[in-house]
Amino acid sequence: MTTRSIADALANTAHEFPFLGKITAQDLLDIVRMELGHEDILDGFAPYGKHQARAFAPETILHIVSGNTPHAALQSLIRCLLLNTHNLVKIPRTGLREVEEFTQKLPAELQAKVEIATELTDAWITQAGAVIVFGSDETIHAIRSRVPASKPFFAHGHRVSFGIVYEDPTFASTVDAAQDASLFDQQGCLSPHIFYIREQKPGDAIRYAGQLAKEMEAFQEKHPRGALSAEEAAEIFHLRTSYRFRAANDVRVACWESVGNDAWTVIYEDDPWFVASCLNRVVYVKPLPDNLETFLTPVRQWLGAIGIWPCEPRFVENLATLGASRICAIGQMQSPPFTWHQENSQTLANLVHWVDFEPSSPIESKS
Amino acid sequence: MSKQSTNSLEVRILNFIQNGTGNFGKLLLETFHYQREHNKAYGNYCANLSEPKTWQEIPAVPQTAFRHFPMRCFSENETIRTFRTSGTTGEGFGEHHFRSLDLYESAARKGWENASLPDRIEIALLPTPKEAPHSSLSCMAGWLAKSDAFFINEGVLQLERLRHVLNLATEPVTLFGTALAFLNYFEWLESKGYRHQIPNYSRVVETGGYKGSGREIPKAELYHKFETALGVSAQAILNEYGMTELSSQFYTRGIGNTHIGPAWARAMVIDPVSGHEVPDGEQGVLKIYDLANLDSVSAVLTRDFARRHGAHFELLGRDPAALPRGCSRNADETLQRKNLK
């Protein structure tokens, strides 16, 4: 299959998975073009500067994906299918329904390029020309130790994300903020842990938290959160108890919680330090400090995305150097484009190797 | 409540601890009313909660309350002793203030006696109370051991001295210490190729805990090391479950048995979703009601998981998922440490 025909097939299949966002074949070809220079450069020699070049992907790529977010797993698989490579996908022991369903819906020729298993064998590691891992640092460390140092290894450890509301007098962004904090039950690296609110007048942040709580409930009514393990439930229980106690004694703390269950929790805290949520729809709201950078110091190296509202260029420059790989609108945090520079770098470009051809006379481009 | 009646309540609790005279539920409810009135932070917390009709309904405070607020029913200048939690990385430390150690001492001694332990500790793998004035464990050991029974000096476990004393022991001895201290000693013994066979009928009381060490081994493995290094079987080893935020202790012998508390301290295993006590055999979060905590707060919600066995519990340990999942431990610790500022 050519890259173009693969892109068509992938876009058709992705269409049936709305959580991936709207993806056209051209979107996928754009990734190839932007990262590799030409849409056809995987199929044959194509113009590359003053000469020609052809990109070769590894014959086989091993993906080790986590159960947290099927989105990340499918993006990885789609990108590598675009490279026309064979894919070995190690999914969690409990399965990963979306990846399995996506593969089943692919045309036979592409389906044959995907193997899925719940156990990682040494044979797969040997077979793979490159390894892509999503998971905790412990997982990454454990797998890295099994992979020869000479083999390309791409690790996607966990990240933390947050949002900043610069201007929103009507709190309209709370609908989108609730969605970002609730999708995938907050398990993804793009899930916001905190929303920082720039206060136009004192009390804006706490009022925002109250409104966000309403929207968290509204989202929960339409999209109930998944079941929790006893440990996860206990974590929310402890957190709520702790913050309730603090709220009873400190006006700088307040909390809102779903009634009769632990579906969602919003905590207002007038303390600018970044704090990691225990996840599963537990989100903090804090007033935005002047020197946010200082209060993000402990998490700078683990930043994923920053959602902002309004999403306008005037706010971006100050955020660009914080370490996050993505700045987007609140409401779009969970929908990264395929062209996203995950881990602050390109994805396809890192996987291919190149052969250049310098003809004695220029050759016309195919497209 | 007047000072006189406070004393009266204290005396009645002391009587309950020492002689079993009185009614736990009534004393605890009375204690609750006293604490709600005099412990300001607890009073504020209870203000919006419904009035408990039974002791089981008394609101419990999270352990973090001891970190954020002064959990005492008396003024700061009446404080004679403050114990601090050991400050596990990422957690900061909580403080438990006392204006009298009478209840704590009484509870510790009587609890020890109830666990059928010899009345003297010969070897404590702990610093002396003088060296560690903020350690409730050292304080307790100070009541049960002679001053020369302490084997941690200036933060260092005195390995050779300990080996020497154990080698000389001809009568049964009682050893007391944290799991980490024992583990360190066993690893040193192993590295030197040494082992002991301490006298029959010796007893070991380990308090669990690997705080700050970044390591933890399964209990069965630790107890196997006791057998290898000291020659004591699991049945001769007790685990003491206690914490700085409490004044009473729970004990279990060997592996796989339940922890049993004294009459003046009760455990309840709570369903974290409903907040109600779990059915027998189910697991949940451990809540402790401790009458000996008269001057702070008696109902404490721990961070530990347990399985309910009637009025007793099987300790399952601190929830391993307590750290935010996904992040590396380093990341988690950094995040949490910074959160404490």
- Kindly determine whether residue B45 and residue A157, on different chains, have CB atoms separated by under 8 Å: no
Q: Does A234 touch chain B (CB under 8 A)?
A: yes
What percent of chain B has pLDDT above 90? 81
What pLDDT band is residue B53 in, cutting at 50, 70 and 90?
A: very high
DSSP state string for A288-352: PPTTHHHHHGGGGGGEEEEEEES--GGGTTTTTTSS-SEEEETT-TT---TT--GGGS-SHHHH-
Residue A325 CA to residue A189 CA, distance in Å, equals 11
Contacts of A162 in chain B (CB under 8 A): none
The shortest CB-CB distance from A261 to any of B47, B270, B273 is to B273
Q: How many CB atoms lie within 10 A of CB B21?
A: 9
Q: Does B337 touch chain A (CB under 8 A)?
A: yes
Average pLDDT over residues A153-160: 90
Q: Does A245 touch chain B (CB under 8 A)?
A: yes
CA A326 remoteness from chain centre: 9
Q: DSSP H helical segments within B231-262, as ranges?
A: none
Question: Do residues B206 and B237 make contact, with C-beta atoms less than 8 angstroms apart?
Answer: yes
Residue B261 CA to residue B250 CA, distance in Å, equals 4
Tokens found for residue A20: 């991936």
The reported pLDDT for the residue numbered A340 is 86
Q: Does A296 touch chain B (CB under 8 A)?
A: no
pTM: 0.86
Q: Does A137 touch chain B (CB under 8 A)?
A: yes
Q: Does B218 touch chain A (CB under 8 A)?
A: no
Could you tell me which of B310, B307, B313, B294 has the C-alpha nearest to residue B248? B294
Q: How far apart are the first and last CA of chain A?
A: 17
pLDDT of residue B206 exceeding 90, the answer is yes
Average pLDDT over residues A78-89: 96
What pLDDT band is residue A91 in, cutting at 50, 70 and 90?
A: very high
What percent of chain A has pLDDT above 70? 98
Residue A154 φ/ψ region, left for φ over 0, alpha for ψ in the -120 to 50 degree band, beta for the rest: beta
- Kindly determine whether residue B41 and residue A279, on different chains, have CB atoms separated by under 8 Å: no
Nearest-CA residue of chain A relative to B41? A249
Residue A158 CA to residue A186 CA, distance in Å, equals 12
What pLDDT band is residue B150 in, cutting at 50, 70 and 90?
A: very high
**CA-to-CA dists, residue A24 to A28, A70, A107, A187, angstroms:** 7, 19, 17, 27
Tokens found for residue B37: 């009135």
Contacts of B44 in chain A (CB under 8 A): 248-249
Q: Does B156 touch chain A (CB under 8 A)?
A: no
- Collect contacts of A214-217 with beta carbons under 8 A, ≥24 apart: A214/A174, A215/A174, A215/A175, A215/A177, A215/A178, A216/A178, A216/A181, A216/A182, A216/A256, A216/A258, A216/A264, A216/A266, A216/A281, A216/A283, A217/A258, A217/A263, A217/A264
**CA-to-CA dists, residue A14 to A3, A23, A72, A81, A256, angstroms:** 16, 7, 13, 12, 37
Residue A214 CA to residue A220 CA, distance in Å, equals 10
Q: Does B311 touch chain A (CB under 8 A)?
A: no
State the smallest CA–CA distance between residue A161 and chain B in angstroms: 12
Average pLDDT over residues B197-203: 96
The reported pLDDT for the residue numbered A231 is 87
A101: Cα within 13 Å, side-chain hemisphere: 9
Residues 6 or more apart whose Cβ sits within 8 Å of residue A338: A23, A27, A28, A31, A75, A78, A79
- Kindly determine whether residue B283 and residue A244, on different chains, have CB atoms separated by under 8 Å: no
Please give the interface size between A and B, counted as residue pairs whose CB atoms are below 8 Å apart.
120
Q: What is the pLDDT of residues B249-300, one digit of tens each?
A: 999 999 989 999 999 999 999 999 888 999 999 999 999 999 999 999 999 9
- Kindly determine whether residue B324 and residue A246, on different chains, have CB atoms separated by under 8 Å: no
pLDDT of residue A315 exceeding 60, the answer is yes
pLDDT of residue B341 exceeding 60, the answer is no
What pLDDT band is residue A365 in, cutting at 50, 70 and 90?
A: low
Average pLDDT over residues B44-65: 96
The reported pLDDT for the residue numbered B212 is 62
pLDDT of residue B72 exceeding 50, the answer is yes
The reported pLDDT for the residue numbered B337 is 32
The shortest CB-CB distance from A158 to any of B273, B275, B327 is to B327
pLDDT of residue B314 exceeding 80, the answer is yes
* Phi/psi at B108 (5° precision): -65, -45
Question: Do residues A193 and A283 make contact, with C-beta atoms less than 8 angstroms apart?
Answer: yes
The reported pLDDT for the residue numbered A348 is 92
The reported pLDDT for the residue numbered A277 is 95
- Kindly determine whether residue A237 and residue B273, on different chains, have CB atoms separated by under 8 Å: yes
Residue A218 CA to residue B272 CA, distance in Å, equals 23
Could you tell me which of B122, B125, B205 has the C-alpha nearest to residue B157? B125
Greater model confidence, A361 or B228: B228
Q: Does B179 touch chain A (CB under 8 A)?
A: no
Q: What is the pLDDT of residues B74-117, one digit of tens each?
A: 999 999 999 998 755 455 789 999 999 999 999 999 999 999 99
Q: How many CB atoms lie within 10 A of CB B273?
A: 16
Q: Does B317 touch chain A (CB under 8 A)?
A: no
**CA-to-CA dists, residue A302 to A58, A64, A293, A331, B206, angstroms:** 29, 20, 13, 21, 39
The residue assigned the tokens 């203030």 is: B97
Write down the mean pLDDT value for chain A.
Answer: 93
- Kindly determine whether residue B44 and residue A248, on different chains, have CB atoms separated by under 8 Å: yes
Average pLDDT over residues B21-40: 97
CA angle B205, B207, B211 (to 5 degrees): 150
The reported pLDDT for the residue numbered A58 is 96
Cis-peptide, bond into residue A287, ω within 30° of zero: no
Residue B330 CA to residue A276 CA, distance in Å, equals 13
The reported pLDDT for the residue numbered A269 is 97
The reported pLDDT for the residue numbered B335 is 35
Nearest-CA residue of chain A relative to B332? A276
Question: Do residues A88 and A118 make contact, with C-beta atoms less than 8 angstroms apart?
Answer: no
State the smallest CA–CA distance between residue B154 and chain A in angstroms: 32
* ipTM value: 0.88
The number of residues in chain A equals: 367
Average pLDDT over residues A327-347: 89
Q: Does B227 touch chain A (CB under 8 A)?
A: no
Residue B258 CA to residue A21 CA, distance in Å, equals 53
B7: Cα within 13 Å, side-chain hemisphere: 3
Question: Do residues B97 and B67 make contact, with C-beta atoms less than 8 angstroms apart?
Answer: no
Residue B329 CA to residue B341 CA, distance in Å, equals 19
The reported pLDDT for the residue numbered B172 is 96
The shortest CB-CB distance from B325 to any of A262, A275, A279 is to A279
Sign of the torsion angle spanned by Cα atoms B320, B322, B326, B332: negative
The reported pLDDT for the residue numbered A157 is 85
The shortest CB-CB distance from B328 to any of A157, A187, A274 is to A157
Residue B212 CA to residue B267 CA, distance in Å, equals 26
Could you tell me which of B270, B254, B336, B262 has the C-alpha nearest to residue B303? B270
Which of A160, A243, A246, A251 to mutate: most B Cβ within 10 Å?
Answer: A246
Greater model confidence, A359 or A165: A165
Residue B8 CA to residue B60 CA, distance in Å, equals 24
State the smallest CA–CA distance between residue A272 and chain B in angstroms: 9
The reported pLDDT for the residue numbered B298 is 98
* Candidate from A274-283, B28-37, B215-224, B311-320 with smallest mean pLDDT: B311-320
Q: What is the pLDDT of residues A196-208, one digit of tens each?
A: 999 999 999 999 9
State the smallest CA–CA distance between residue A274 and chain B in angstroms: 7
The shortest CB-CB distance from A245 to any of B62, B272, B284 is to B62
Residue A355 CA to residue B299 CA, distance in Å, equals 71
Q: What is the pLDDT of residues A215-262, one digit of tens each?
A: 999 999 999 999 998 889 999 999 999 999 999 999 999 999 999 999
- Kindly determine whether residue A157 and residue B61, on different chains, have CB atoms separated by under 8 Å: no
Average pLDDT over residues B18-34: 96
